[in-house]
Structures are given as structure tokens and as C-alpha cells.
Chains A and B, each alone.
Chain A
Amino acid sequence: MIRVLLLVALFGLAACAEREQVADFKKGKYQGKPDTQAWDNAPLAYGSGKWTKGDRASWENQIKTRQLGQNEDVRINQ
């Protein structure tokens, strides 16, 4: 009885530590919290660029185009 209690206490204490912060997407959930990934949506009809639904690389391309749009040096000096 005491030994079992001690074991439970020991494991309980060992569990009380910070865990590493990872992004692990499994079955529609990030560590138990449901979410959809951004590339798992179809592009809007207007104004949101082009990518294939579910294809991460094509979505990233779209985002990258958008990001480079913030570089006004390129726009001004060309």
C-alpha cells in the first residue's frame, strides 16, 4: 500500500514539469486543440491569390508572393 502510494507520488511529481512547445498536428488537432490548417481551404473567389486546397507548398508560394509585396524598395526602384 505504502509502496504503491510512494510510486504514485514519485511519478506524479516527475510529471509536473514544463513540456517542450511543439507544433504537432494529428487528426485535426494541435496537442488536443482542434484547428484547421490554413492551406486546407480553397482560395477565395476574388482577392486571395491562387493555391491548391490541401497543398501546403502552393499555399506557401502564395503567402511568399504576398510577403514580397511588402518590399516597397523593389516596387519603387524597378
Chain B
Amino acid sequence: MARMKFLCDAERCIECNGCVTACKQENEVPWGVNRRRVVTINDGIVGAEKSISVACMHCSDAPCMAVCPVDCFYKTEDGVVLHDKDLCIGCGYCFYACPFGAPQFPQAGAFGLRGKMDKCTFCAGGPEPDRSEAEFKKYGRNRLSEGKLPACAEMCSTKALLGGDGDVIADIYRDRVVRRGKGSEVWGWGTAYGPGKPGAQPPAQQPARGRS
């Protein structure tokens, strides 16, 4: 198996915020914390509006993991980036470092004092024993251990949000693109960071493939 990935199809996302609700419901995340959010670009402009659902993208070279002073992050063999809330000190550095603004902090006291960081777990729980009460309270549902995929992706009504093994969802997306003949800009690592070569053009600026 390759790595677990999310993919959001900007051509399909209708900004229903169902993924946000599903995540909150499935994981019972604390008040004020949103592990997933839908961002709309060009909101209200006919013909230019696009929405994208974003959460932790489970980076292969995760900045949050690199800057954590207590090294509380770890990566599972499925490529899911998880963290241990027992170790977290609430310093907020992962929030500074994350390109997507995924790490969230419940307020733990006056003056905005940060509590333990909370973020999308790809519905894979955390360090506590799988499916245990403690795991659910700290990290939410462990759907991977139940043979399921993240709730947000599985319930997406337009199937804009795909979640799972990068190879498989890329295949699904490719099928879709071939069928509709457009939308080849895949939302993910390459889009966020660029192709990785200094001076190279970002993928979005290349002429569109497919129907033109």
C-alpha cells in the first residue's frame, strides 16, 4: 500500500460543508475546533467560484513534525501523520509551520492560552489502544481500524472529496477526468509546494491538458 491521501475535486465541491459536519459528528471534536473546513475562492462571482475542502494533508515531509519541540508527531505505515496528545505542550509551532492551517488549539485558559493540539487524524485515532474510550475522547473515531475510510470523504455527496490510498484515489480521479475531459490539476502536495525544482513553473500555470 502507498500513502493515505485526501483529494478534493474543485469542479465538484459545492460548499455544502457536509464533510465539516461529518467530521465534527464522527469525532466529536471539542467546541471551537474544526479539523476540516471548506474554503471558497472567488465567492459569489458567477463562473469563477470554486470551493475546496481542506484538512491535514498528511504530508510526506511534514513541517509540523519537523518543528515540534517535543517530537510528539509520528507517521504510520499508511502515511498518516498522527500525534500524541499526552506529549503535546500546546506551543503552537505546528500551527505556524503547517501550510494548510490544519492544527487547531482549543483555548485552555485566559489570554488565548493554547490547549493540546487537535487535528485531522485521517480517522485513524491515536496512540491509545484502538477503539478504546480513551482514544475516542482524545482523537476521535478510529475508522481505519474498523476497515473504513475517513467519514468526510465517504459521505461526500458529490464525491468531490476522495480519501484513501493515493494510488487508488488517483485512479478514480483519472477515470473521472478522462470521462469529463478536464480538471487535470490535482489538488495536493504538488499544488501546494510546487514541483520541487527551484525556478520551475507551478503546475497550474502550464497549458491545460485534455479538452481545450
Binding site for B on A (CB under 8 A): 18, 21-23, 25, 30-38, 40-41, 43-44, 47-51, 59-60, 62-64, 66-74
- Distance of B79 from chain A, by nearest CB (Å): 7
Chain B residue with Cβ nearest A60: B1
Ordered by A's residue number, 15 sampled pairs between the chains whose C-beta atoms are within 8 Å are: A21-B62, A21-B75, A23-B79, A30-B76, A33-B127, A35-B82, A38-B124, A41-B131, A47-B146, A62-B147, A63-B1, A67-B169, A67-B172, A68-B168, A73-B175
Instruction: Please indicate the chain A residues that have their CB under 8 angstroms from the CB of B1 in the complex.
Output: 60, 63
Question: Which chain B residues lie closer than 8 Å to A62 at the CB level?
Answer: 147
Query: What number of A-B contacts does a CB cutoff of 8 Å give?
Result: 108
Is A66 touching B126 in the complex (CB atoms < 8 A)? no
Interface residue? B176 (CB, 8 A): yes
Q: Are B154 and A36 in contact (CB under 8 A)?
A: no
Apart from A37-B76, A66-B147, A66-B148: 8 A-B pairs, beta carbons within 8 A? A21-B66, A25-B77, A30-B75, A31-B71, A33-B127, A38-B78, A66-B149, A73-B172
Inter-chain CA distance A72–B79, complex, in Å, is 25
Within 113-131 of B, Cβ neighbours of A (below 8 Å) are at: 124, 126-127, 129-131
Contacts of A49 in B (CB 8 A): 147
Cα–Cα, bound, A30→B76 (Å): 7
Bound together, the chains give a CA A35 to CA B165 distance in angstroms of 20
* A38–B145 CB distance below 8 A: yes
Nearest CB in chain B: distance from A44 CB, A: 5
Beta-carbon contacts of B78-120 to A below 8 Å, as 1s and 0s? 1100101001000000000000000000000000000000000
Query: B130 to A21, Cβ gap below 8 A?
Result: no
Is B23 an interface residue, CB under 8 A from the partner?
no
